[in-house]
Structure 1
Amino acid sequence: MSVFTVFAQLVEDLADLLQPLFGATAAAAAIVLFTALVRLLVHPLSRAAARGQKARTALQPKIAELRRKHAKDPQKLQRAVLELHAEEKVSPLSGCLPGLLQLPAFFLLYRLFSSTSIGGETNALLNHQLFSAPLGGRFADALGGGGLLGAASLVYLGLFALVTAVAAVNYRRTRRTMAATAPVTVADGGQQVPGLGAMNKVMPFLSFFTLFTVAVVPLAAALYVVTSTTWSAVERAVLYS
């Protein structure tokens, strides 16, 4: 039995469990519940990432002092900053783990709702819908089927509105975080690392990339993305307050 067969059965079982409450949208509700379970599993790592972020913010006065002390020796400055992080047991990469560990779940949903058959049998999950939008369909399919104001397209427009609101919140938070934890940006000769300034300007806008993801992946995978990003926004508001 393949992992996709097991996963498909899990989604079907969750949908059956939720059917009395959600009716025809039970499979969509099952995906939201599955996403919440995944986020609960990685929540301890999110808490660790929040502690790491606060610790990095607390180190900024010491890093500023190192910048003044080693202003004419960029390599020594970078070594001193790394040593400071090691001494304080602060990892600059800890914030990446929660997102990386969610990728397998996202790709499972993507593959599951992109396949017409599972284990040699017809993929029954493709028959499920969120209101009028098939969980295996994409925004382009909705546009082609009923236009921008068609019943299926309205489901996507609602998701786009939610994603835009969440992305705006994340944009403001990312800008504040980057301002509070400015990285070492000098290379040999004391010059700024080429391209780093532009990257720092672009990074806060990456939250809006979720809009593109929601538009091109199957609706089931889009639900995972929307649920997860909304969870992240609420979780960060709590953990970083």
Structure 2
Amino acid sequence: MDIFAIPPLTLLLDAAYSALLALSTLLEPVAGSAAAALAVVLVTLVVRGLLIPVGVSQAKAEQLRARLAPRLRTLQQRHGNDRERLQRETMALYRDEQASPLAGCLPLAVQAAVVGILYTLFLRTEIAGHPNALLTHDLFGAPLGESLFAAAGAGLDAPTALVWAAVLAVIVVVADITRRVFRPQVPADGPLATPAMLGVVNGLHYLTAAFAVFVPLAAALYLVVTVTWTLVQRWALRRRYPLPAA
């Protein structure tokens, strides 16, 4: 089912297309053929800037979860065999602290929506019945509407290979720094302390790079900017809201 065939979403997609195309046209005197790529970067920065207050709330929630972790483990040990009781006691604990266990989910939801729209904008040959002019744009010779997976299937040329190598390198480097700097606080006797589970947790940091291979280059650029922004913002907020000692 094509969700963008639903009239309100069709209008949303057409509005996003018109806005991005207008911004690209505005940037052409400065960026030339890379105007659409620069427009994607600027849109990403605007989205991330608007989410700064939510990022602050997310950092506060992370600090709270770390502080409540010993009490949550006590509840799990006490009511581990009674899931309903455990859920009630957990929710009561968060309620007493005037917090929510779902705090911090909004940035993920917003980013998923933006990636979905960019993916669609640079995938369709037509938007709301008219030709998609965004597909004529590229970044240093690499088409913005083509994924690495599709490009590899058709035969990679040198410019496309270099651009994608740079994109993936940035995502992987940022993921590795994030993994090293923000190691999760795992109880030594907990189920996540096993080497296998720690390997899984560490591997999750690199999922963005795997996902980027299958999306158009424009969406991959969004991922590059957003993971870099997230790392810097998280580092700054961690200094402002440090976690309690393990």
The letter of the residue matching 2:126 is: S
* Residue 217 of structure 1, aligned match among 202, 206, 215: 215
- 1:154 maps to 162
The letter of the residue matching 1:230 is: T
Deviation per CA, 1:103-160, whole angstroms, max 9, x where unpaired?
211111111111001222211110000111011112134335553x711111000001
> Using the alignment, how far apart are the partners of 1:198 and 1:145 within structure 2?
37
Deviation at 1:9, TM superposition (A): 1.1
Over 3 Å counting, the alpha-carbon distance change for 1:73 and 1:206 in structure 2 is: closer
> Using the alignment, how far apart are the partners of 2:70 and 2:12 within structure 1?
49
> Using the alignment, how far apart are the partners of 2:72 and 2:12 within structure 1?
47
Count of aligned residue pairs for this structure pair: 225
> Using the alignment, how far apart are the partners of 1:9 and 1:199 within structure 2?
46
Range with greater deviation from structure 2 (77-86 or 7-16)? 77-86
Over 3 Å counting, the alpha-carbon distance change for 1:83 and 1:54 in structure 2 is: same
Would you say 1:32 and 2:32 are equivalent positions? no
* Residue 171 of structure 2, aligned match among 139, 163, 167: 163
- 2:18 maps to 9
Over 3 Å counting, the alpha-carbon distance change for 1:87 and 1:128 in structure 2 is: same
- 2:106 maps to 97
Would you say 1:122 and 2:131 are equivalent positions? yes
> Using the alignment, how far apart are the partners of 1:91 and 1:54 within structure 2?
12
RMSD of equivalent CA atoms: 2.8
> Using the alignment, how far apart are the partners of 2:95 and 2:199 within structure 1?
28
Which aligned pairs between 1:10-89 and structure 2 lie closer than 5 A? 10-63=19-72, 66=74, 71=77, 73-74=79-80, 75=82, 79-89=88-98
> Using the alignment, how far apart are the partners of 1:173 and 1:79 within structure 2?
34
Question: Which structure 2 residue ranges, 5 or more long, are not aligned?
Answer: 1-9, 240-246
Over 3 Å counting, the alpha-carbon distance change for 1:204 and 1:90 in structure 2 is: farther
- 1:188 maps to none
The letter of the residue matching 2:120 is: R
Deviation at 1:82, TM superposition (A): 3.5
Deviation at 1:238, TM superposition (A): 0.9
Would you say 1:132 and 2:141 are equivalent positions? yes
Deviation at 1:226, TM superposition (A): 1.5
Deviation at 1:19, TM superposition (A): 2.1
Over 3 Å counting, the alpha-carbon distance change for 1:71 and 1:28 in structure 2 is: closer
The letter of the residue matching 2:149 is: A
Q: Could you state the TM-score of these two structures normalised by the residue count of structure 1?
A: 0.82
* Residue 227 of structure 2, aligned match among 226, 229, 239: 229
3-state SS, counterpart of residue 2 of structure 1: helix
The letter of the residue matching 1:126 is: L
Deviation at 1:236, TM superposition (A): 0.6
> Using the alignment, how far apart are the partners of 1:209 and 1:225 within structure 2?
11
Range with greater deviation from structure 2 (13-22 or 73-82)? 73-82
Question: Which structure 1 residue ranges, 5 or more long, are not aligned?
Answer: 186-191
> Using the alignment, how far apart are the partners of 2:228 and 2:113 within structure 1?
19
Deviation at 1:101, TM superposition (A): 1.9
